[in-house]
């Protein structure tokens, strides 16, 4: 998967910071050791001198094997004394060496010239962070979701009240977030404007992110616009399409509010269909009914949604209006 230059630079800055911190800690520990054991500093200098002598022996010719053998014996003796002194003063060898977060690559990002898994993970996380940059992920939680704005009385002809229905929706969303895995189901959050679909999808995103999964959250309007701009070269070439397909959880907010064009319709279908084929969970929130989804996108799209998504129906009246009425009544 390719990323733009800024993503690589951001990941490299993180790795360089990790290296500096690990090496700085090790240097401070060594200085503390040398302060109580000056002999240890002398041994380290002697080890460095021995390494230089070995290199000169190879370059100088003569009986190289014999010279290297003697130097190896000297080096082993110096190392053994250094190790004994560090233990005697309460320092382990691990204390005196950098503790890199990634022992495979030493926080360089590469192993034998190949990209390390830690760098791949950082690139992915940075790319997700940039896609989520305009989303208020931290502003909505399950704790701040109030059932008080949903009527307790059932509408005429309904067999349950909006509050009862939304209590079950809230419970299902909490359980989804708590038990999320790569095998989780797809969700369709469906209902009129202002009923809390965005709030609960953001709450799910927060909890899933805290579990260490890669989450991309965005309005379909913004994501399709970004895909279109990249496709037609109106902004720097990126890899948004692959990122949206590959993330652990994709949350598509406000499906149906995007500008309708052949490109946007095809992009939405391809994205939803590809994630179904890859068995990667997706959450879609929309104001559209199943019939409206069918009319706007296609019979095939509506069929894929109906057959592969768990529908959570949001009932009630616009919470923003209810909140305003409540606040005015309190004055």
pLDDT in tens, 208-260: 988 888 888 889 999 999 899 888 876 665 678 888 998 899 999 999 999 89
d(CA 84, CA 88): 6
Domain boundary among 118, 150, 183: 118
Q: Is the pLDDT of residue 1 over 70?
A: no
pLDDT in tens, 97-138: 899 999 999 999 999 999 999 998 898 888 777 767 766 666
Q: Count how many domains the chain has.
A: 2
Is residue 85 domain-resident?
yes
> How much is the average pLDDT of 44-67?
68
Q: Is the pLDDT of residue 15 over 80?
A: yes
d(CA 229, CA 267): 12
DSSP state string for 177-203: HHT--TTPPEEEEEESTTSSHHHHHHH
Q: Is the pLDDT of residue 319 over 60?
A: no
Same domain assignment for residues 176 and 65: no
Same domain assignment for residues 47 and 158: no
What CATH number has the domain bearing residue 204? Answer: 3.40.50.300
Same domain assignment for residues 147 and 280: yes
d(CA 39, CA 37): 5
Over pLDDT 90: what percentage of the chain? Answer: 46
Same domain assignment for residues 283 and 312: yes
d(CA 113, CA 7): 20
Query: Residue 327: what pLDDT?
Result: 47
> How much is the average pLDDT of 288-298?
94
pTM score: 0.69
Query: Residue 3: what pLDDT?
Result: 62
Same domain assignment for residues 193 and 264: yes
Is residue 124 domain-resident?
no
Domain boundary among 93, 118, 143: 118
Same domain assignment for residues 197 and 219: yes
d(CA 82, CA 39): 9
Same domain assignment for residues 113 and 253: no
Domain span at residue 304 reads: 132-330
Same domain assignment for residues 316 and 283: yes
Is residue 126 domain-resident?
no
Same domain assignment for residues 257 and 177: yes
Average pLDDT, the chain: 85
Higher per-residue confidence, 272 vs 45? 272
> How much is the average pLDDT of 260-287?
95
Same domain assignment for residues 141 and 98: no
Is residue 256 domain-resident?
yes
Is residue 125 domain-resident?
no
Is residue 325 domain-resident?
yes
Domain boundary among 96, 118, 140: 118
Same domain assignment for residues 10 and 89: yes
d(CA 264, CA 159): 38
Query: Residue 270: what pLDDT?
Result: 95
């Amino acid at each position: 998967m390719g990323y733009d230059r800024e993503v690589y630079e951001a990941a490299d800055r993180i790795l360089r910071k990790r290296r500096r911190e690990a090496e700085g800690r090790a240097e401070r520990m060594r200085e503390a050791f040398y302060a109580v054991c000056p002999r240890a500093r002398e041994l380290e200098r002697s080890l460095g001198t021995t390494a230089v002598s070995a290199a000169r022996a190879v370059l100088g010719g003569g009986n190289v094997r014999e010279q290297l053998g003697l130097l190896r014996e000297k080096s082993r003796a110096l190392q053994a004394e250094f190790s004994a002194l560090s233990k005697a003063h309460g320092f382990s060898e691990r204390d005196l060496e950098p503790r890199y977060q990634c022992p495979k690559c030493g926080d360089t990002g590469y192993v034998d010239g190949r990209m390390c898994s830690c760098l791949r993970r950082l690139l992915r996380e940075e790319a997700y962070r940039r896609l989520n940059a305009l989303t208020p992920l931290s502003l909505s939680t399950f704790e701040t979701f109030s059932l008080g704005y949903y009527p307790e009385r059932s509408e005429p002809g309904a067999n349950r009240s909006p509050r009862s229905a939304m209590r079950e929706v809230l419970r299902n969303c909490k359980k989804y977030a708590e038990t999320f895995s790569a095998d989780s189901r797809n969700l369709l959050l469906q209902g009129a404007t202002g009923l809390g679909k965005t709030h609960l999808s953001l709450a799910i995103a927060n909890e899933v992110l805290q579990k260490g999964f890669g989450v991309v959250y965005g309005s379909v309007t913004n994501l399709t616009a970004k895909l279109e701009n990249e496709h037609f070269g109106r902004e720097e070439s990126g890899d948004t399409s692959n990122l949206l397909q590959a993330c652990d959880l994709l949350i598509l907010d406000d499906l149906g509010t995007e500008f309708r064009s052949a490109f946007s319709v095809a992009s939405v279908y391809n994205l939803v269909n590809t994630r179904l084929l890859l068995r990667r969970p997706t959450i879609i929130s929309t104001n559209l009914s199943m019939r409206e989804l069918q009319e706007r996108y296609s019979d095939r799209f509506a069929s894929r949604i109906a057959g592969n998504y768990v529908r959570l129906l949001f009932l009630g009246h616009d919470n923003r209006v209810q909140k305003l009425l409540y606040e005015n009544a309190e004055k």
